[in-house]
Structure 1
């Protein structure tokens, strides 16, 4: 099989060939140092180049997420510099910007949106207006920059520019206590986004304090976790009762289309998120949660292998579909056309989804 790596031993000096092998990748990385505005033009080509270097899709996804994190840092630093130049002064208290959802799990592909929040150091209540105004200004600036860089505003308003997602750490702790002591559907839906978070800029100790608050609340969250299991029905895997591939039809571009993120990847991450919470797992990423649960004997060898394989294969299929759309001049999305798959690929996809559905049923039983 011919790959870029085969160039290493062409000629008498393999070490000298490394630069030639990596040159195509370097040509895509260099513009990304200049600012987030270069992301839309270069990230799909970067993904293709990484695949051409034979990296697995899960690692490409992690690197794309790392690049998005870089865009966050660049956007935040630009906003801080602008505010300093305009007389806003330095940040009035310590803070941490967090990313949530697939970005927090470091599993973004080529169709991300913004899910972010701000955790602030506690401050005297009498200074709330001036301090909150400062951070609102910061949030509005960096979220607007990210939107222009191809990481669009969240349609559900899960952004640091909204008061619900911007508050001092003591208020975050209280919010977790209140949200996790009930089984209201909307609050569970919001927590399903929040729980998969990671710090991207600022004082990471604030993010760790929030993580501790979530794990400490588990003992009082029985009804809440029961509702998490009930919400598995919101995103069933893309199989009918006869195990045939079938999308849910929501906003589908054609009747056969399957939203592989909503009815595959998110079905797995939802079940895994609940099991991780039940067992006190501190990890966020899917592969990391699977490994932790396996190490703690909460997953058998077979379960760990099957679910890891299903996750990695679904990511590979979706990334391939997104790159095909990009090469065709279309905007990458989360849709897969099963008609584009050969019989073996369809059977493989069915098998992946069967493993996820079986796991969902097992996690439900833990709660019931």
Structure 2
């Protein structure tokens, strides 16, 4: 007998798109439509609200059953326009937002209905309060309320949300997915605000995120790794186009910094012209790195090749991903050079099986990002790029490599388990740092762990060491 499908965990539901929880779009009317024509539409099944739409079809007001009871019944004549009874302006939620964002909007605003709008501003569906809030427990809702605030407050509230989910038994990997989703949404919010301040761009563009945000694996304090793909334009427009995007990108990166995403020490940000190009220029850049294969070219490749579109038309990013595949197929030496550089990434185990001391001064803590997560991420990235695997997330890459037979199923299972444990250990350490008033870091006191967990961590690092050495060696020919 087929087992019933388990409901998604709170983190999985909240990380998912609002479109998964929304109902069909309600009826829409011109604001001048008489109520006598509007109200019959609310008598239909499952219709508890209607929208007032402008000439473009975008919502400008909402009329709910409660509005009818409070403002219409025995108060307004049938010929009164919809605009006389509706609530305006109407709060909406973008269709590409995570469900957590809808929860954060519904709760503080005491809203019962939340229209979902597409990129063109038109309503594509409706979220109802009870259905949407069912995705979160009462304790978690308290933390989610803080996610309706300003950017910096949202960033700070991530720790409370993550702690509440971990306390409820949600796996750290799912919690990290939610944290990454919040981080991505913050990028879009800052981008929208920068666009409002600077006006219509001279040419369309796509926002790229890279590094841990691009992989969907960012923890509490990732720095910025972003860029822009600009639509192609004639050379004689360069001064105009570049001047606009230079000011816009400066404001965007400064806004992210204020929201809690530190400026990238390596300058991998849209305000740097190297990371702000047309698609042909990006293609040429990848080709140059493939030919250069040294120094900054390798460092940039490690970060940039985890790119994905975060806002704007995703087609240019998809075209760039396809071109990267062609570049790597024609220049396999680039992957070999990346592997040779990544071979310096070691795991946090001594020759005798103890944990390494990576802490300056008298401490003995181990950096499990540098000496655990990074070797696994780097090795998985190289194999995925070699095999033309499109997903950028490490867990998805491991699964895809196993499906292709590039990694044995047993090893893939061990690596997936190691990845999940490393995320759990690092996330809990960062939450402890946050609670103690310290900046979230990556140094973990392995000696304070209970023996079974310390043993599991040692086994995880051994699996990462074996896999990463084999992966790097398969490109360089080195024997470990």
1:22 counterpart = 2:137: yes
- The Cα of 1:181 is off from its aligned counterpart by 2.4
Q: Which moved more, 1:106-115 or 1:307-316?
A: 106-115
In the superposition, the TM-score normalised over structure 2's length comes to 0.69
Q: Would you say the 8 A contact 2:347–2:371 is kept in 1? A: yes
364, 369, 378: which one aligns with 1:261: 369
Q: Counterpart in 2 of 1:171? A: 281
Q: Would you say the 8 A contact 1:111–1:334 is kept in 2? A: no
In 2, Cα distance between the equivalents of 1:321 and 1:176? 36
Q: Counterpart in 2 of 1:330? A: 438
Q: Counterpart in 1 of 2:190? A: 75
Q: Counterpart in 1 of 2:169? A: 54
1:97 counterpart = 2:220: no
| 1:198-217 equivalence runs, <5 A | 198-217=308-327
Higher relative contact order (CA 8 A, sep 6+): 1
In the superposition, the TM-score normalised over structure 1's length comes to 0.89
Q: Which moved more, 1:253-262 or 1:99-108?
A: 253-262
1:311 counterpart = 2:419: yes
341, 357, 360: which one aligns with 2:465: 357
Q: SS in structure 2 opposite 1:244?
A: coil
> How many residue pairs end up in the alignment?
348
| 1:126-145 equivalence runs, <5 A | 126-145=236-255
Over 3 Å counting, the alpha-carbon distance change for 1:232 and 1:180 in structure 2 is same
- The Cα of 1:315 is off from its aligned counterpart by 0.3
Over 3 Å counting, the alpha-carbon distance change for 1:243 and 1:228 in structure 2 is farther
Q: SS in structure 1 opposite 2:464?
A: helix
Q: Counterpart in 2 of 1:154? A: 264
Q: Would you say the 8 A contact 1:238–1:263 is kept in 2? A: yes
Q: SS in structure 1 opposite 2:277?
A: strand
351, 358, 363: which one aligns with 1:241: 351
1:115 counterpart = 2:225: yes
Q: Would you say the 8 A contact 1:35–1:71 is kept in 2? A: no
In 2, Cα distance between the equivalents of 1:168 and 1:57? 38
Q: What are the superposed Cα offsets for residues 317-358 of structure 1, whole Å, 9 maximum, x if unpaired?
A: 011111112222222111111222133222221111111110
1:289 counterpart = 2:397: yes
124, 146, 157: which one aligns with 2:234: 124
Q: Would you say the 8 A contact 2:358–2:443 is kept in 1? A: no
Q: SS in structure 2 opposite 1:323?
A: helix
Q: Which moved more, 1:358-367 or 1:300-309?
A: 358-367
Over 3 Å counting, the alpha-carbon distance change for 1:222 and 1:189 in structure 2 is same
429, 446, 451: which one aligns with 1:321: 429
- The Cα of 1:180 is off from its aligned counterpart by 1.3
- The Cα of 1:283 is off from its aligned counterpart by 1.4
Q: Counterpart in 1 of 2:297? A: 187
Q: What are the superposed Cα offsets for residues 107-156 of structure 1, whole Å, 9 maximum, x if unpaired?
A: 01112111111111111111112111211212111211111111111111
- The Cα of 1:234 is off from its aligned counterpart by 3.1
Over 3 Å counting, the alpha-carbon distance change for 1:167 and 1:19 in structure 2 is closer
In 1, Cα distance between the equivalents of 2:248 and 2:153? 21
- The Cα of 1:222 is off from its aligned counterpart by 2.4
**Structure 1 unmatched runs, 5+:** 6-14, 85-89
Q: What are the superposed Cα offsets for residues 227-256 of structure 1, whole Å, 9 maximum, x if unpaired?
A: 11111233211122233211455xx46441
Q: Counterpart in 2 of 1:12? A: none
In 1, Cα distance between the equivalents of 2:350 and 2:367? 14
Q: SS in structure 1 opposite 2:217?
A: coil
Which of the two has greater helix per residue? 1
Over 3 Å counting, the alpha-carbon distance change for 1:271 and 1:21 in structure 2 is closer
Q: SS in structure 2 opposite 1:234?
A: coil
333, 353, 358: which one aligns with 1:223: 333
**Structure 2 unmatched runs, 5+:** 1-8, 11-129
Q: Which moved more, 1:336-345 or 1:138-147?
A: 336-345
Q: Would you say the 8 A contact 2:429–2:444 is kept in 1? A: yes
- The Cα of 1:74 is off from its aligned counterpart by 0.6
Q: Would you say the 8 A contact 1:232–1:360 is kept in 2? A: no
